[in-house]
Amino acid sequence: MTDAPTASGEKNNPPQAQTRRPRFSVVWVIPIIAAILAAYLGYRTVAERGPLLTLTFDTASGLTSGQTQVQYKSVALGTVESVDLSNDNKHVIVRVRMNNVGARFLTDHARFWVVRPSFSVGNLSGLQTLVSGDYITVDPGLPGGQYRTSFTGLEEPPGIRSDVPGHTYVLKAPNIGSLGTGSPVFYRDIPVGEVLGYDIGNGLGPVTVKIFVHSPYDQLVRPQSHFWNSSGITFGIQGGSFHIEFQSLQALLSGGVTFDLPPDAAASAPSPDNASFPLYASRDAANAAGYLRKIPLVTYFETSVNGLVVGAPVDALGIQVGQVTDVKLILDLNTAVPKVRVAMELQPERVFQSKLLPNNMTLEQGIQKLVNSGMRAEIATANYVTGQQIISLATVPGAAPVQVTTEGDAFVLPSQGSAFAAIASSLSVISDNLAKVQFGKLGENINKLLVTTNTAIADAHLQQAMAALVQTLNNLNRGYGNDSDFQHNLEQLMTQANNTLQSLDQLSSYLDRHPEALLRGRSSQ
């Protein structure tokens, strides 16, 4: 059979099968892009994922898993992944996933702590966490160090961070008063540093106080510098007026340390890091330590020294020349007489800037000459309100010469009682004498005298004499008294004399204004 031709003359051939090609649908574009982005983000997350940091704290206050960050200069270094208790339930274990930037901070020089709001005397910090919440920060420390991922966090921020220029110094004192961590360090009333902390050691020696002085003020700390405790208030009477002094309100509340730079230290090099200095109790004690020449003296008193303490001034003619270094009670059982041993040191540089002794005279000869001239040590009252006592080197006229002895390297000066002791001794003598008076017999004698006087006054002749005396006084009063003619005449004379003086005064005034009147006479005008 053949296909029948069509109307057009063409053969009607059956249709042949066609091959279909698969077409790409736009619908698949979005899932593919999402898959690529997910793969990229996953790769980036894995690539940027840093090490796991483990921190140990005493408390987890303010720390939240998945939210609390580790920051350094407001740059995020990682995020807290978990907060758990330690096996002994005494500490908190905080695990932080660090990023690549944070990984560079993981050395044994680093220190971590939690930044929280802090309100203390003279210090307000971490106030931004009231809005943003607590966070963990880090001090990277000095460059270098060994890699590590486990740390014990600090419960308090460190006093000084590694990126703050300056030097640390060590101060030693028997006690620190109100000093504490964060107390300011002053130079000429300017805060230049702070106290980092203190250590009492074994409790038997001095207290060690570490301070930090910021740059460039650390260049002012020289080996000759003096540090003193400027905490609290110093008051007393100076120049007859009540004097109160304190470093600053901050030092008053939280304590403070002050240091100086003596003029003779200008040419010396700054002290190195961790140099050690004594911490004096006051400015006066620090100033006294600056005197290089010191002459030790000792004296003894057998009277009360109440009010005399270590550090009390030693003066001569009202000018301080030294200070008391020790006051001790001595009881000699051989004599059974208690004495008070007072040790002191003279500081000639307070008064003498040049050579103290003449040529060819030793110190012992000079002191012996002063003692032979009457110099004695006595107790004097410096403040009658507080009862403060001082040692005064006074010259006693007519004092007998005394041989000066020594105790070790100290010269022993003779002493004399204070003025109050002498007054008390005189009053004691007067009291003893009064006690010896027989007031009973004295009263009897006075009574007898009164009876005799009364009898004499009652005598008729004496009464007539008294009457005659009264009559004489009356006659004098009538002749010269207030109502007498003599008195009236005297008053008129005085009035006329006063008028004459007034006229002379007016004439003198007129001639002073018109001297030509002496020649021309008084003008009619």
Query: DSSP string spanning 136-168?
Result: EEEE--SS---B-SEEE-BSS--SS-TTS-EEE
Segment among 124-133, 299-308, 322-331, 437-446 with least mean pLDDT: 124-133
**pLDDT over threshold 50, residue 239:** no
Q: Is residue 353 part of a domain?
A: yes
80 in Cβ contact with 95 (< 8 Å): yes
Q: Is residue 7 part of a domain?
A: no
Q: Is residue 216 part of a domain?
A: yes
Distance CA 306, CA 421 (A): 12
Same domain as 64, residue 135: yes
Q: What single-letter amino acid sits at 252?
A: L
Range of the domain at 115: 44-152
Residue 55's pLDDT band, with cuts at 50, 70 and 90, is: very high
Domain total in the chain: 4
- Give 57's contacts (C-beta < 8 A, 6+ positions apart): 63, 91, 92, 94, 114, 153, 155
Same domain as 180, residue 268: yes
The strand pairing partners of 411, in sequence order, are 297, 406
Residue 275's pLDDT is what? 93
pTM exceeding 0.85: no
Q: Is residue 414 part of a domain?
A: yes
What is the H or E stretch that residue 490 is in? helix 485-513
Distance CA 403, CA 95 (A): 81
314 in Cβ contact with 321 (< 8 Å): yes
Residue 434's pLDDT is what? 60
The three-class DSSP label of residue 251 is helix
Residue 476's pLDDT is what? 60
- Give 140's contacts (C-beta < 8 A, 6+ positions apart): 72, 105, 107, 109, 110, 162
Nearest to 256 by CA among 183, 365, 189: 183
Q: What is the mean pLDDT of residues 407-433?
A: 70
Angle between helices 485-513 and 460-480 (to 10 degrees): 40
Nearest to 118 by CA among 157, 169, 71: 157
71 in Cβ contact with 79 (< 8 Å): no
Q: Is residue 466 part of a domain?
A: yes
Span between the terminal Cα atoms of the chain, in Å: 183
Same domain as 123, residue 177: no
Same domain as 310, residue 377: yes
What is the H or E stretch that residue 363 is in? helix 363-372
**Structure-token pair, residue 433:** 């004498």
